[in-house]
Amino acid sequence: MMFDWATIVGLIGSALFVGGFAYANAAAQLDKVLFNLINLVGAILLLVSLSVHFNLAAFVLEVCWGLIALAGLVKALGERRREPAP
């Protein structure tokens, strides 16, 4: 196994996914902006890693994961903007 910069970037992306999943399961109130941002950044980092060590199945998964996270982030930011100020 090669342990280069691309592998390190991919491991950071994977850690973000695991951290986001743990956060979603532990949080009393889920911050959808934070959750989707973590997932989007994780997907981007894994796609960067996959640009060096390509795997089609992982690439398709990360593109889908990133698009879902981006859509969720846009929706969450729109909802946050519509909330009344305290």
**Mean pLDDT value across the chain:** 95
CA angle 81, 44, 58 (to 5 degrees): 130
The length of the chain is 86
* Mean pLDDT of all residues in 27-40: 97
State the pLDDT at residue 71.
98
* Mean pLDDT of all residues in 22-47: 97
pLDDT in tens, 42-83: 999 999 999 999 999 999 999 999 999 999 999 999 999 998
